[in-house]
Structure 1
Amino acid sequence: SFVLLLLLFHYIGNSQIRPTPHNSKDKDAEFDVNYNDTVTSENQTIYAFNHTISRNKTEGVRVSVDLLSNKSESPILFVVRQKQAVLSFQVPLILRGLYQRKYPYYDVGRTLCQPPTRAASETQYFFVDVSTLSSQGANYQLRVSRVESFTLQTNKKFSFTASPSQPQYFKYVFQDGVDTVIVKVNSDMAFPCSVMSIQDIQCPVYDLDNNVAFIGMYQTMTKKGAITVQRKDFPSNSFYVVVVVKTEDEACGGPLRFYPLTPDELIDAGNRSKALDVMVSTAINLEAYVMGMLFCLGIFFSFYLLTLLCVCLERARVISSSADNGSTMSSEAITDSATSTDNNYGYMGMKRSLESVARSRQESLSSIEEDDYDTLDDIHSDKNIVRTKKFLYVADLARKDKRVLSKKYQIYFWNIATIAVFYALPVVQLVITYQTVVNVTGNQDICYYNFLCAHPLGALSAFNNILSNLGYVMLGLLFLLIVLKRDLAQNRALERHDVNALECGIPKHFGLFYAMGTALMMEGLLSACYHVCPNYTNFQFDTSFMYMIAGLCMLKLYQKRHPDINASAYTAYACLAAVIFFSVLGVVFGRDNTAFWIVFSVIHILATLLLSTQLYYMGRWRLNAGILRRIVYVIYTDCIRQCSGPMYIDRMVLLVMGNIVNWSLAAYGLIQKPNDFASYLLAIAICNLLLYFAFYIIMKLRSGERIKCLALVCILFTAVVWGFALYFFFQGLSTWQKTPAESREHNRECILLSFFDDHDIWHFLSSIAMFGSFLVLLTMDDDLDTVQRDKIYVF
Structure 2
Amino acid sequence: MVLRSCWKSRHKSSSGPVHCWLRPGVVALLWLCVTQFVCGSVALGETKNVIQKDAEFDVTYNDRVTSENQTIYAFNHTVSRNKTEGVRVTVDVLSQSLESPILFVVRQKQAVLSFQVPLILRGLYQRKYPYKHVGRTLCQPPTRAASETQYFFVDVSTLSSQGTNYNLRVSRVESFTLQTDKKFSFIASPSQPQYFKYVFPDGVDTVIVKVSSDMTFPCSVMSIQDIQCPVYDLDNNVAFIGMYQTMTKKGAITVQRKDFPSNSFYVVVVVKTEDEACGGPLRFYPLRPDELIDAGNRSKTVDVVVTPAINSDVYVMGMLFCLGIFLSFYLLTLLVAFVESRRIKRRDVYHNPADMSPAETASLLGKNGDGKTPASPYEYGSFADNCSTLSSEAITDSATSTDNNYGYMERPLDSVGRSRQESLSSVEEDDYDTLDDINSDKNIVRTKKFLCVSDLARKDKRVLSKKYQIYFWNIATIGVFYALPVIQLVITYQTVVNVTGNQDICYYNFMCAHPLGALSAFNNILSNLGYVMLGLLFLLIVLKRDIVHNRALVRNDLNALECGIPKHFGLFYAMGTALMMEGLLSACYHVCPNYTNFQFDTSFMYMIAGLCMLKLYQKRHPDINASAYTAYACLAGVIFFSVLGVVFGRGNTVFWIVFSVIHILATLLLSTQLYYMGRWRFDSGVLRRVVYIIYTDSIRQCSGPLYIDRMVLLVMGNIVNWSLAAYGLIERPNDFASYLLAIAICNLLLYFAFYIIMKLRSGERIKCLALVCILFTAVVWGFALYFFFQGLSTWQKTPAESREHNRDCILLSFFDDHDIWHFLSSIAMFGSFLVLLTMDDDLDTVQRDKIFVF
TM-score with structure 2 length normalisation? 0.89
The answer to whether residue 194 in structure 2 is matched with residue 168 in structure 1 is yes
Answer yes or no: is 1:481 the counterpart of 2:540.
yes
For residues 646-682 of structure 1, give each alpha carbon's deviation from its aligned partner in whole angstroms, at most 9, with x where no partner exists.
Answer: 0000000000000000011001101111000000000
- Give the secondary structure class of the aligned counterpart of 2:550: helix
Q: State the alpha-carbon separation in 1 of the partners of residues 296 and 46 from structure 2.
A: 36
Contact 1:72/1:136 (<8 A) preserved: no
Q: Does 1:547 align with 2:586?
A: no
Secondary structure at the aligned position of 1:159 is classed as: strand
Query: Contact (CA 8 Å) 1:196, 1:218: kept in 2 or not?
Result: yes
Per mean C-alpha deviation after superposition, the further-off stretch among 265-274 and 356-365 is 265-274
In structure 2, C-alpha distance between the alignment counterparts of 1:724 and 1:627, rounded to whole Å:
47
TM superposition shift of 1:499: 0.8
Alignment of structure 1 residues 768-779 onto 2, 5 Å:
768-779=827-838
State the 1:190 CA deviation. Answer: 0.4
What does 1:439-478 correspond to in 2, within 5 Å? 439-478=498-537
Q: Is 1:271 aligned to residue 304 of structure 2? A: no
- Corresponding residue number in structure 1 for 2:333: 307
> What pairs with 1:626-637 in structure 2 (closer than 5 Å)?
626-637=685-696
Deviations 1:706-753 (A, max 9, x none): 000000000000000000000000000000000000000000000000
| Pairing 1:2–2:61 present | no
Contact 1:187/1:223, CA 8 A, preserved across alignment: yes
Q: How far apart are residue 516 of structure 1 and its match?
A: 0.2
Match of 1:370, SS state, is coil
Which one of the candidate residues 55, 58, 62 is aligned to 1:29?
55
Deviation of 1:585 (Å) = 0.2
Contact 2:792 2:817 in 1 (8 A): yes
**CA distance, structure 2, for counterparts of residue 444 and residue 104 of structure 1:** 29
Describe the shift of the 1:36–1:515 C-alpha distance in structure 2 as closer, same or farther (beyond 3 A). same
CA distance in 2, matches of 1:421, 1:271: 56
Write the letter of the residue equivalent to 1:558: Y
Deviates more, 1:374-383 or 1:407-416: 374-383
Distance of 1:85 and 1:601 partners within structure 2: 62
Shifted more, 720-729 versus 21-30: the winner is 21-30
Superimposed CA distance per residue, residues 438-475 of structure 1 (whole angstroms, 9 cap, x where no aligned partner): 00000000000000000000000000000000000000
- 8 Å CA contact retained: 1:72, 1:134: no
Secondary structure of 1:247 counterpart: coil
Number of the residue aligned with 1:40:
66
Alpha carbons of structure 1 residues 648 and 140: separation in structure 2 relative to 1, 3 Å: same
SS in 1 for 2:280: coil
Q: 1:744 aligns with which of 795, 803, 810?
A: 803
State the SS of the aligned residue for 2:76. Answer: strand
Letter in 2 for 1:12: V
Q: Is 1:144 paired with 2:164?
A: no
2:582 pairs, out of 515, 523, 533, with: 523
Q: Deviations over 1:533-578 (max 9, x none)?
A: 0000000000000000000000000000000000000000000000
| More displaced 10-residue stretch of structure 1: 661-670 or 65-74 | 65-74
How far 1:254 sits from its partner (Å)?
0.2
- For 1:411 and 1:532, locate their aligned partners in 2 and report how far apart those are by CA, in whole Å: 32
Could you tell me how far apart the structure 2 residues matched to 1:775 and 1:158 are? 54
Q: What secondary structure does 1:382 align onto?
A: helix
Answer whether contact 2:432 2:463 (CA < 8 A) is retained.
no
Aligned position for 1:360: 419
Identity over the aligned pairs, expressed in percent? 87
* Most deviating of 312-321 and 229-238: 312-321
| In structure 1, distance between residues paired with 2:449 and 2:348 | 42
In structure 2, the partner of 1:52 is: 78
**Partner amino acid for 1:28?**
D
TM-score (norm 1): 0.95
Q: 1:323 to 1:377 in 2, by over 3 A?
A: closer
Aligned to 2:323: 297
> After superposition, what is the alpha-carbon deviation per residue over 1:182-227, rounded to whole angstroms, capped at 9, x for unaligned?
0000000000000000000000000000000000000000000100
Q: 1:347 matched to which residue of 2?
A: none
Alpha-carbon deviation of 1:375?
9.4
Report the secondary structure of 1:597's partner residue. helix
Instruction: Look up the match of 1:340.
Output: none
Could you list the per-position Cα deviations for residues 269-296 of structure 1 after superposition, in whole angstroms to 9, with x for gaps in the alignment? 1421000010100000000000000000
AA matched with 1:772: G
Q: In structure 2, how many angstroms separate the alpha carbons of the residues matched to 1:323 and 1:506?
A: 24
For 1:743 and 1:145, the matched residues in 2 are separated by 38
Alignment partners' CA distance in 2, 1:511 and 1:374: 20
> How far apart, in 2, do the equivalents of 1:19 and 1:597 lie?
76
1:322/1:635 CA distance change after superposition, 3 Å: closer
- Pick from 203, 212, 220: which aligns with 1:186? 212
Shift of 1:359: 2.5
Question: SS at the partner of 1:269?
Answer: coil
Q: Per-residue CA shift, 1:596-629, capped at 9, x if unaligned?
A: 0010000000000000001000101111222122
Q: Is the 8 A contact 2:129 2:293 kept in 1?
A: no
**Distance apart, 1:15 and its partner CA:** 5.4
Aligned position for 1:251 = 277
Distance 1:79 1:70 in 2: 22
CA distance in 2, matches of 1:777, 1:165: 64
> Which secondary structure state, in structure 2, belongs to the residue aligned with residue 215 of structure 1?
coil
1:103 aligns with 2:162: no
Does the residue aligned with 2:254 lie in a helix, a strand or coil? strand
Question: In structure 2, which of residues 260, 263, 267 is the aligned counterpart of residue 241 of structure 1?
Answer: 267
After TM superposition, the structure 1 = structure 2 runs for residues 274-423 of structure 1, keeping only pairs within 5 Å, are 274-324=300-350, 329=354, 353-374=412-433, 379-423=438-482
Say which SS state the counterpart of residue 212 (structure 1) adopts: coil
Contact 2:435–2:458, Cα closer than 8 Å, also in 1 = no
* SS state at 2:448 partner: coil
Question: Which aligned pairs between 1:580-729 and structure 2 lie closer than 5 A?
Answer: 580-729=639-788
Give the deviation of 1:370 after TM superposition: 3.1
675-684 or 619-628, which deviates more: 619-628
Change (3 A) 1:261 1:242: farther
Does the Cα contact within 8 Å between 2:129 and 2:294 map onto a contact in 1? no
- Check conservation: 2:434, 2:460, Cα contact below 8 A: no
Secondary structure in 2 matching 1:36: strand
Give the C-alpha shift of residue 431 in structure 1.
Answer: 0.2
SS state at 1:444 partner? coil
8 Å CA contact 1:105–1:270 kept in 2: the answer is no
CA displacement at 1:319 relative to structure 2: 3.0
The 3-state SS of whatever aligns with 2:647 is helix
- The 2-side partners of 1:630 and 1:14 are apart by 104
1:381 Cα deviation (Å)? 2.9
**Equivalent residue for 1:345?**
none
User: For the residues of structure 2 that align with 1:512 and 1:376, how far apart are their CA atoms?
Assistant: 25
Distance 1:536 1:465 in 2: 17
CA contact (8 A) 2:206 2:257 kept: yes
Structural RMSD (CA): 1.9
Per-residue Cα deviation, 1:618-642 (whole angstroms, up to 9, x for no partner): 1011112221221121111111111
Aligned equivalents of 2:213, 2:711: Cα separation in 1:
58
Displacement, 1:45? 0.5
1:575 matched to 2:601? The reply is: no
- Structure 2 CA distance for aligned equivalents of residues 664 and 619 of structure 1: 26
Name the counterpart of 1:341.
none
Q: As a proportion of its length, which structure holds more helix?
A: 1
SS of the residue 2:413 aligns to: helix
One-letter identity of the residue aligned with 1:505: G
Q: Is the 8 A contact 1:104 1:270 kept in 2?
A: no
Aligned length: 777
**Cα distance in 2 between the residues matched to 1:466 and 1:329:** 55
2:804 match: secondary structure? helix
CA contact (8 A) 1:220 1:741 kept: yes
Alignment-mate amino acid for residue 219 of structure 1: Q
1-side partners of 2:44 and 2:71: how far apart?
20
Between the aligned partners of 1:496 and 1:377, the Cα distance in structure 2 is: 27
Structure 1 match to 2:112: 86
The amino acid that maps onto 2:178 is L
Q: Is the 8 A contact 2:792 2:818 kept in 1?
A: yes
Q: Is the 8 A contact 1:103 1:270 kept in 2?
A: no
CA distance in 2 between counterparts of 1:385 and 1:103 reads: 81
